[in-house]
Structure formats: C-alpha cells, structure tokens
Chains A and B, each alone.
Chain A
Amino acid sequence: DIQMTQSPSSLSASVGDRVTIACRASQSINNYLNWYQQKPGKAPKVLIYAASSLQSGVPSRFSGSGSGTDFTLTISSLQPEDFATYYCQQSYSTPPYTFGQGTKLEIK
C-alpha cells in the first residue's frame, strides 16, 4: 500500500493567518491527490481533487499544489469556520486509496 504522511500533525493559528499543510506519499502518485476537511462530529467533505482542482462551492482561499510525492494544502487567510482536521488521500493505481493521518488545525 502507498503510505501518506502529513505534517504537522497539529497546528495552532490565528484568524487571518496563512497556513500550509504538507502531505508526502511513499512513492510517486502523479497528481492523484485529494484533500478533505472534517469538523468535529461531522462527515468529511472534499476540498481539493487532482492535487489542485477546487471542488465546487469551496472558498477560493483554499488551494492545493504538488505532484509526484510532495503536496501542500494552503489556506490563504484563515476564517473561524476553517478550524478543523484536514486529510490528504491518494487515488493512484489500484485500491486501497489511503489517507494521511490528519492535521488538526486549532485556534491560537
């Protein structure tokens, strides 16, 4: 299986900050990389697919980049509703399409 490693595991930031979350794959996955947001007690929802494509309805302050093994999710100006846990997921080749361990974004 392809292993996905996110960093950091947790992060404290303030409203208005620019935040970057990293995700590294154990082998090249081209740009077959998705990002999800999960708020406490809720199901995850997709933010970014294909490494950099913004899902319909997702605010433009979210962006994704990367290819190969290294990827980033950036939030350009944190809003109160962005405090949540973020997961990357690879969809390269055959299943399982593994997730990263998550990055918890907390209010400073």
Chain B
Amino acid sequence: EVQLVQSGAEVKKPGESLKISCKGSGYSFTSYWIGWVRQMPGKGLEWMGIIYPGDSDTRYSPSFQGQVTISADKSISTVYLQWSSLKASDTAMYYCARHVGYSYGYEWFDPWGQGTLVTVSS
C-alpha cells in the first residue's frame, strides 16, 4: 500500500524555526515527485511546491518561494518542509502528497499524507 506519513502537530512561537516531515512507503520513493499543500484555517488548498527525491530538483510556487524550503533525504524516504522564522500567518494544516501521472500535463496528487497542523502563536 502506498502511504505518506507526516510528522505530528507543532506549536511554535513567532520567529522560531521548524521542519516537518513526510515519509513515503510502498513504492519507489525516488521515482515520484512529492508536493506540499497549505490549508489555512477554514480556507482552501494552496499549492506550495514539489520536489523530486531522486535528485532533489525542486519547484516552488512564486507565493512561497523564499518563505519555505523543501528538501529530501532519499536514504530514509523522507521529504521535509521547513521555515527559518515562523510567523503567525504560517498557522495552517500542511499536507504532503505524491505527484503522479502518465504524461506531460496529466498529473495529479495521490495519495495524500494525513496532514501536519502547525500553530504559531505567542
């Protein structure tokens, strides 16, 4: 069974750093891109970026470029999302998801991790 398991909920203060994780299993981890999606409280889905664990090629949405860093450690089948200085506005649920498809443009996310809730509050 293909699974993505994310790290647990975090409560942080503004200005602190954070790294959350997403561990893949049940498939060839280095052969699929993995993406991150933000969902702020009561809001919709926002596409943040994707990484190819095979060579760590990374693409960011302009909205998130410079605000977060996506990285991967293929030796342990894990992708990360990190912040160097959190803001209250980073409070959200963050999902990782495997990026799949069969041809250029025919690409979608499946499956998704269970989500990691990040709360940033003083």
Contacts and interface: CB of A to CB of B under 8 A. Distances in A.
A92 B107 CA distance: 9
A91 B44 contact: no
A49 B105 CA distance: 10
Interface string B82-122: 00000000000001010001000111111111110000000
Given A43-B115, A96-B62, A99-B44, A91 B106 contact: yes
B79 to A, nearest CB: 16
A81 interface: no
Contacts of A91: 101, 105-108
A50 B45 contact: no
Interface string A71-101: 0000000000000000101011111111111
Interface stretch (B13-21, B24-32, B46-54): B46-54
B106 A50 contact: yes
A92 B46 CA distance: 16
A104 B109 CA distance: 20
A5 B37 CA distance: 18
**Secondary structure call for the A interface:** loop
Interface in A1-59: 1, 30, 32, 34, 36, 38, 43-46, 49-50, 55
**Interface size bucket, B side?**
20 to 34
A55 B102 CA distance: 13
Interface residues of A, number: 27
Contact of A87 (B44, B59, B114, B115): B44
Nearest to A49: B108
A46 B62 contact: no
Given A43-B114, A43-B115, A102-B44, A95 B106 contact: no
**Which of B37, B62, B105, B111 has the most chain A CB atoms inside 10 A of its CB?**
B105
Contacts of A101: 44
A5 B62 CA distance: 19
Given A1-B62, A43-B95, A91-B105, A99 B112 contact: no
A79 B114 CA distance: 24
Contacts of A92: 105
